[in-house]
Structure formats: structure tokens, C-alpha cells
Amino acid sequence: MKKTILTVDDSRTMREMLKATLLGAGYEVMQAEDGVHGLEVLEGAMPDVILTDINMPRMDGFGFIEGVRRDSRYRSVPILVLTTEGEPEKKDRARRAGATGWIVKPFDPEKLINAIRRLAA
Amino acid sequence: MDTMAAIKQTFFQECEEQLVELESGLLALEDGTSEPDTINAVFRAVHSIKGGAGAFGLEQLVRFAHAFETALDLVRGGKLTATRAILKTMLSAADVLADLVRITREDGVADDAEITRMVQQLEAISHGGAAAAGSQPADAEPADDLDFVPIQISLADLIGAGPSGTRSFKIRFEPKTGFYARANEPLVMLREISRLGAMRVTCDQTRLPSLTELDPEGAYLAWEIHLDTESDESALRDIFEFVEFDCDISIEEKQVEADFDTDAFAQLMSLASGQTPPMAQPLEPRTEQIAAEIASRNESETANRKSDANKGFNQAGATIRVDLERVERLIDLVGELVINQAMLSQRVAEARIARSSALAMGLDELEQLSREIQDSVMAIRAQPVKPIFQRMSRVVREAADMTGKSVTLHCDGDSTEVDKTVIERLTDPLTHMIRNAIDHGIEKPEVRLAAGKPESGHIRLAAMHRSGRVVIEVSDDGGGINRERVRSAAIAKGLIEPEAQLSDEEIDNLIFLPGFSTAATVTDMSGRGVGMDVVKRSIQALGGRISIASTPGRGSTFVMSLPLTLAVLDGMIVSVADETLIVPLTAIVETLKPSTGDIYHMGGDSRVIRIRDTFVPLIDIGHVLGYRNKLADPQNCVVVLIDLEGHARRALLVDTIQGQRQVVIKSLEANYRRVDGIAAATILGDGRVALILDVDAVVENANGKAASSASESLDLDHDTHARAPQRAHDFATELEPEPVE
Amino acid sequence: MSTKMRKPEVLKLAENLDITEATPLIGELLKHRGADIKIDASSVKKMGGQCLQALLCASATWTLDGTHIEIITPSDDFLQCVEAYGLHLSHFSSQEPAL
């Protein structure tokens, strides 16, 4: 069965890049445009890995991660943070919110797929 | 790679949207908004551009966006107050960013000096903010600058790049509770390590309590791994990069030569470095209970979210993004459909089928439907004028800076929708009109104050729909047109006779004449060689009209009336020397049958016709377009009186008038090549191709011919120029029953 | 907590033994405390660290209790997991006191 990845990013460019990369690697892709949308899309779905941006309108990545982790159904879903921001305090905040990992944008497709592959294994 | 090119296209589209967002946000901040949403949106806009630019390796863009973002982040975080001066710099930075995006899109190279200057200004702002906040040292920032563009190294590269020869590592890996809480799994780590080489794993169970004491989500196991690998330590560290705070890791390289107990050494090392001893206190012992509590409390929230989700999906479905090419193809096809339907109707008419027959009635319905489809399809390409209006705020800023005047811009009706193709061609005329208004209309602050006006000049841009057309107004509260100066300039340039009696409106309209410029000194802006005649010509090229109303001391208003779309045109079908031509209806004032007595020969091929009390140059279309060598006999012809830019008039001589109808415009340039005097082509109901006349070009051609053959006709030409406007204006008001102001 | 000994009871493991399975698994195991038990690992596809430690803990507890515990019909995935964790199937069985 194909693994499903949920990506949450407000940038259409990023969404398209992620989609192209993930589809190319044989994953099913679900996409959302911000944290609120992400939680909506998550309803009734069970992605194998979640990729999320931090800086988004309505609900940012921290809020989204906390929201996902609050829901017992999604406690074991790995969440990778994908963001341009690399400051340690932001990393730490995402980690405390419940993020599994961190990938700095612009992402190296190969590295991203490697990370997803091992998390979705 | 095709996908990448498409995504890059998306990126630039998104940039445009972000730039609009950025500018309107900054302007809102300038207006004193303190909404946190505004600064967040502004920050996000730049942040998003940076992110995308990074993905495409657009370094200049990344560098600039980063400097900008850093400054915005300080404002966002409350470490920096956005003063007027700072906002002004940021608006300029937004302009530079817009330029940079455009240049990058066109694969150009931006002026690095300008970018660097702006980056320095932004950094100065950031440093000021950082220093004021007393946070991190100000000069720490630039050093980080290049840091965030990751060097793209794949794992394979790392392995390949490592020093050759096998190395042995001993790794101890001990997850903490948080490791599992964040959905990490030891197996993931172990598998990754195994990819680096040959490994032996042992599981350390010594800390396991009895089952009754076991915290289901606690962390009690540890692993020891012996790895023989060709990779170096950094490859190992990479695996644990995400989880360094959530587990204890020790990595020791076993020195093959050194013959001492490395395990003991490792233990010593870990003790020395203050590593958590075995039997670590379980962190967050009650996580599970709290989580369960929250989870149960969330059940109801989840239910709520579910209904919200549906709403969200509906909203998301409200718009879709379609490739413009597809829309254009659709518009084209619908154009074909309309033509086809017209042809069918004509065939039915020719077959003498009764209008009341079911067939004819069905055709009527088809015509109705085709029209509706056409309108709906046109609406797809319609876009609000907002982006272009917003672009004008930059024009205002720059022009105000350049002239040392203070000017504010106010926009009304920016949600008014116009066909995309029309919008695209509005930028230049609008830019020029606004520059003109600031350069020549708005007075210097001291002059304004002396005249009892507010120090700051005011420009208003307004768009509205009016009887199937779009009306755009540009008004200023400046000094109005200096009629004395316009008049004397026109005389000096030989555009009017010194003794010509002109009404105020006629004088105002002189500024649309080619070659007219009132600027006493060539300023930075008016030195660009674009006059109002060019503006008028480009508006006319869009099938639009432009007029001006001015009150001395109170300001001027330019009114442009434009078609909603460039895809269809209302035209008059005429025959000239057995050819079928279309004259755009917007240009036509009236048609009349000339009597021989009204025609005067001016020498050479030029003739004029007297229409009531005015002499109007007569243009023989067939002759100008080269359909026939001899001039047509006006007695066998019809005169179509047309209104040119600048309200000058010409009488076009055609053989017969066939009728009026809406035609679908087919570009000649796209399908054939540009033809002088012809704007485009169309296909008529009977399948014939008809050319759409470019009225201004035809007149220009005729002028050329007349000038070479009879110089005296020029004088008269100018005379009619000067006399015509009053009547033209009357007609214009007849056409547009609602007064413009 | 019944003491219907004699016949070893069978506990079937879930497919995906992730963090959310740890609590129910321990609950199930505790229900069988004091009885001989066979753990059916035939449908296991994934086993996370926390279910792993629960099973390891059970085998230690059963050994101390003097009751019997063992894995039956392990799936390939289960065996692979066990190996990757650096363990053997015997780690999941109660150790008979050496005589």
C-alpha cells in the first residue's frame, strides 16, 4: 500500500514542489494551506508522515503540531517541520510542540525523501 | 525539467500576489494600523518569496528578501517600532523587491549596487532595532547571512567524501520519554545506522522495571551499537540530528591502534561530560494522563471541527486556478462558436425560412445562448483593477520624491473587473497620467499652503462600470490646466493659429495633440519623451476614449472609458472597392451622404468636406489602403465621420454601409503579420474575412500623403483640429448620458 | 484477574504496535498475569520501542512469577524487528529455572 504524506504550507510554490517531489518518490500526497486547514484535512485521514511549514496564516506550524499531537489518534504520526527558519529557539519550540524532525528549506529532495522513507518505514 | 518550469511559473505568480499583499500591508501600517495580522501578513509575504527563491537557487532574491525579512521580523516581534521613516524605507524596499522579482523572472541581472544599497538600509534598520532592544549583538547578523542556504549534500556524497578506510564506532543510544512522544522510533535510528556499514546491536534492558511499575509510555531501553563503516562521525551525528535533545547519545571512535579499553574510556567520557547516569528520572511522568484528559475534552471540539471542515472545503472550492492559456483557448473557441452561429443564421436567412419556424426560433435561442456563453467566458478572464491601482501607489511615491512634493493616493472601485488583456495595457497610460498630474498638476507644498490648500496633494484613482464599459478616472487637486500657457505653447509649436478662438475645453484638449508639451523646464519625469498624445493613442488602441476636465486652482480629472474586453468589438461593416471592412463603432460620430457642393479640392489628392459649418479632411479609404489608384467619386459614396484622438475629426469615404454587428477579433499579427492601417481581422457570418480598420493609422497614412502633395491643407488641418473639439465634446456627452463628474 | 490456569491463554498482538498500543497492551498483559500465556505475533507489521519494552518486561515478570510466556507464530516483520532491535525471540519467553 502506498504511504500517504500530508503537507501543510501556505506557499503554493512550496506545495507544488513538495507534491512533485513526493509523487515522484511514489507517495500519495494530501495538502493543506495552513494549520487550520491542515487539521481539517487530517479529519478522517491517517497520513504516514506529516510535513509542515512554521510560518503560516490563521494557525502556524507550532499550533498545528500541538493540535495534531493533542488528538490521540495522531500521536504516533511523525511530523517533520519544513521551514526556512533555522534558529535553535524555533527548533526547540517545534520540538516541544511535538515535532519529530526538522528539515531546512530549500530542501534537498533526496534528503527529504530519505527522511520520510525512514520515518514512514 | 517541465514540472520545475511550471512550478517556477507558480512561484512568480505567487510573488506577484505576495508583493501586492506586502505593499498593501505596508501602506496600512503607514495609515496607522496596529493589527498584528497586518505585520504578520507583511512578514509572511517576504518570507514566502524568500522560501521559494531559495528553492530555485535565486540567490540575489534570497539575499534581499532575507535582509528585508530580518527587519520585518524585529517589527513583528515588537523589538522595533515601525516609524514613518522606517516604513518609507520598507516601501522602497518593497519596490526594489518587486523590481528584483521582475528582473529575475525575465532572467535578467539586477543592479547589484542598488540591491546592496537597499540591503544596507534594511540592515541599518535591523541593527538599530536590535541595538535598541538590547538583544543580540548587532553585527552578529550579517555573518549568519549565508548560513541559511543549505549546501545540498546527499548522504551518498558524505559517504563518498569521507576519508577512505574502515573506521569503527561504538554508539550508545538511550531514548528519553520525549523521543517517543514526538513519534520517533528507535528502530528508525537503528536502521539508518545499519545503512552506514556492518553493525552489531545489543539491547540494554537493565533499567526495565516490573510490569506493574512500567509506565506504558516511559523510556527504559537503551542500545549499544558497534559499527564498522567508511563514513565519518558526522554521518552518524546526522542521523541523530533531530533527536539530540530527546535521547542520550555517545559516539566514540575506536582507535584500532590504541590498545586500551575503549568501552571503559567511553564510560569515563560520558561521566566526565555530565551525561545522565543510568536510571534517569523519567521526564514528564504524567504526560499520558494529561494527554488522555485533553483527548477526551477534545472529542467535542473534534466534532465541531468536522463541521467546520466541510465549510472550509466549500470555501476552498469557491475559486480554482486555471492556466491562462486554457482560458484563452476557450475564449477563442467561443469566438469561433459565435462566428459559426452567425454563419448558420445567415444560411437560414438565405434559405428563406420563415422567422416564425421552429428552426429559426431555435437559432434565435442558440444566438442568445452563444452570447451568454461568450459573456461568461469573458468574465473568467476579468480581473479586478486592484493590482494595477496598487502599482500606482508606487508611481505616486516615486514621482512625489522626485519632485519634492507631498502627495497621497486614494483609490476607489478597485474591485471593478476588466478583461486581463485590457488591464495589462493600462499600466503605461495610468503611470504617465499620474506622473503628469504630480509633475504638472500638484503644486509645491509652499504654493499649496499659500493657496489655502492642504500641504499634501491628493490624487484619486477611481474605476467603475458604466453602460457596458469601464470608466477610469484620474483626478488631482492641483492647480488645474494653465490654459494661458497651454495656448501659447500650442501657438509657439504651430499647433493652432494665433488668432484661433478656443473654448476652455478646446484648450484643455490641446494637451492631447502629438508633440505637445507645456513643461517650462524638462524635469526628470517629463523628460521621458512620452506625451499625453501617447496616452491618448494607447487608450484608443484599447478601443477607449479619454477626456479631460479641469478647473483652475482646483485640479484636473482625466476620464478614460474602455471596453470590457478586447475580444469582441462593435463595428460598422462597410464596403470599399469590393472589400469588406469594419470600422470600430466607438470611433464613429455619424454617417452621411455627401453632396457634390460640399466637397472642396485642396490640391493634390487632398479634399475636404463641409459638414454643417466645419471643414473636415476627407479620407478616401480605398485610396489610402491601395485598393484603387483613382480617387472615388463622393457622389457614389457614403461618408463616415469619425472622431480621432484629440477630438479631431475625419470624414472617411466608403462605398456602402452593410450594417452593424458585434465581431470577434482575430489578431492579424498572430495569424499573419502586422498590416499598416489594419487593426485586426474578423470572420463574418457568411464566412468572409473582413479587416478591422485602425482608424488612427489610416488617418496618419492619409496625412502623410496629403502633406507630401499639398502643404496648404495642413493649415486647414490645424484649423479643424482647433475647431472640432466643441462639437466632438457635445457628441461625447450625447453618447454618455451620465455626466462624468 | 482470574486463575483459570491449565490451558495457556493466547493474546493476539495488533498489527501496528505504536505508542498508542502500549497502554492497552500492558493492560491486556496484566489481565493474564499469573497464567501461562502465548503471545500471537502473526499479524504484527510494526513494533515500536514502547510495545517492545512492554513485551520484554512481561517476559521478565512471567519468569519471576514462575509462569510461562512465549511468542507463537511470529510474522516475518516481527522477527525482523526483533533482530533489528538486537534481540532474539528467546528474549520474549520466560526463562525456565536452570536445574
Contact criterion met (CB < 8 Å) for A75 and C48: no
Q: Which residues of B542-559 are buried (b: 16+ CB within 10 A; e: fewer)?
A: bbbbbbbbbeeeebbbbb
The answer to whether residue B238 sits within a structural domain is yes
Q: What is the CATH number of the domain that holds B478?
A: 3.30.565.10
Does the CB of B528 have a partner CB in chain A at under 8 Å? no
Measured between alpha carbons, how far is B665 from B344 in angstroms, rounded to an integer?
A: 19
Measured between alpha carbons, how far is B557 from B475 in angstroms, rounded to an integer?
A: 4
Give the length of chain B: 741
Q: What is the CATH number of the domain that holds B260?
A: 3.30.70.1150
**Model confidence over B170-186: pLDDT tens digits?**
888 888 888 888 888 88
Q: How far is A98 from chain C (nearest CA, A)?
A: 14
C-alpha cell at B64: 534581499
Do B419 and B370 lie in one domain? The reply is no
pLDDT of amino acid A72:
81
Contact criterion met (CB < 8 Å) for B291 and A102: no
Residues of A in contact with C77 (CB under 8 A): none
Residue from the list B185, B191, B221 with its beta carbon closest to the beta carbon of C53: B221
Mean pLDDT of chain C: 83
Interface of chain A toward chain C, CB-CB under 8 angstroms: 72-73, 75-76
Do B544 and B437 lie in one domain? The reply is yes
Contact criterion met (CB < 8 Å) for A39 and B305: yes
Measured between alpha carbons, how far is B677 from B668 in angstroms, rounded to an integer?
A: 12
pLDDT of amino acid B711:
34
B706 pLDDT more than 60 = no
* Residue B223 and residue C86 in contact, taking contact as beta carbons nearer than 8 Å: yes
Name every residue whose Cβ is closer than 8 Å to that of residue A119 and which is 6 or more positions away in sequence: A48, A49, A78, A80, A100, A101, B183, B188
In one-letter notation, the amino acid at residue B456 is S
B553 torsion bin: left (phi>0), alpha (psi -120 to 50), beta (else): left
Nearest CA to A47 out of A2, A4, A9, A7 is that of A4
Q: Which residues of B133-155 are buried (b: 16+ CB within 10 A; e: fewer)?
A: eeeeebeebeeeeeebbbeeeeb
Q: For chain B, how are helix, strand and coil distributed in percent, rounded to 5?
A: 50, 20, 30
Percent of the residues in chain B that have a pLDDT greater than 70, as a whole number: 77
Measured between alpha carbons, how far is B203 from B619 in angstroms, rounded to an integer?
A: 100
Contact criterion met (CB < 8 Å) for C48 and A76: yes
The answer to whether residue B295 sits within a structural domain is no
**Secondary structure element (H or E) that encloses residue B429, with its range:** helix B427-436
The answer to whether residue B315 sits within a structural domain is no
Do B606 and B707 lie in one domain? The reply is yes
Q: How far is B263 from chain C (nearest CA, A)?
A: 18
The answer to whether residue B265 sits within a structural domain is yes
CA separation, residue B176 to residues A31, B121, B180 (Å): 32, 47, 7
Residues of C in contact with B200 (CB under 8 A): 86
Do B46 and B85 lie in one domain? The reply is yes
Do B678 and B549 lie in one domain? The reply is no
Q: What is the DSSP string of B571-603?
A: EEEEEETTEEEEEEGGGEEEEE---GGGEEE-S
Do B627 and B648 lie in one domain? The reply is yes
- The more confidently predicted of residues B723 and B697 is B697
From B350, B382, B414, give the residue that closes a domain: B382
Do B368 and B466 lie in one domain? The reply is no
Do B551 and B491 lie in one domain? The reply is yes
Do B43 and B118 lie in one domain? The reply is yes
* DSSP helix/strand/coil, B729: helix
**Beta strands per DSSP E along B413-452:** 417-419
The answer to whether residue B303 sits within a structural domain is no
Q: Which chains border B (3 or more CB–CB pairs < 8 Å)?
A: A, C
* DSSP helix/strand/coil, B732: helix
The answer to whether residue B293 sits within a structural domain is no
Do B53 and B142 lie in one domain? The reply is yes
In chain B, the number of structural domains is: 5
Task: Show the domain range for B392.
Answer: 385-563
Do B37 and B87 lie in one domain? The reply is yes
Please give the ipTM for the structure prediction. 0.87
Give, for all 121 residues of chain A, the pLDDT tens digit.
788 999 999 888 888 888 888 988 889 899 999 999 999 888 878 899 999 988 888 888 899 999 898 888 888 899 988 877 667 777 788 888 888 888 877 777 888 888 888 887 7
Residue from the list B183, B203, B217 with its beta carbon closest to the beta carbon of C22: B217
**Model confidence over C4-39: pLDDT tens digits?**
445 678 888 888 888 888 888 888 888 888 888 888
The answer to whether residue B221 sits within a structural domain is yes
Q: Is residue A47 exposed (0-12), middle (13-18) or buried (19+ Cβ within 10 Å)?
A: buried
**Model confidence over B584-643: pLDDT tens digits?**
887 788 888 888 788 888 777 788 888 877 888 888 888 888 888 888 888 888 999 887
Domains of chain A by start residue, with CATH: 4-107 (3.40.50.2300)
Does the CB of B187 have a partner CB in chain C at under 8 Å? yes
Does the CB of C63 have a partner CB in chain B at under 8 Å? no
Do B56 and B100 lie in one domain? The reply is yes
Please compute the mean of the pLDDT values over residues B452-472 and round it to a whole number. 86
Does the CB of C55 have a partner CB in chain B at under 8 Å? no
Residue from the list A12, A56, A105 with its beta carbon closest to the beta carbon of B55: A105
The answer to whether residue B520 sits within a structural domain is yes
Measured between alpha carbons, how far is B623 from B654 in angstroms, rounded to an integer?
A: 10
* DSSP helix/strand/coil, B302: helix
Contact criterion met (CB < 8 Å) for C48 and B203: no
Interface of B with A in 49-68 (CB under 8 A): 50-52, 54-57
Domains of chain C by start residue, with CATH: 9-92 (3.30.750.24)
B279 pLDDT more than 60 = no
* Residue B573 and residue B654 in contact, taking contact as beta carbons nearer than 8 Å: no
Q: Which chains border A (3 or more CB–CB pairs < 8 Å)?
A: B, C
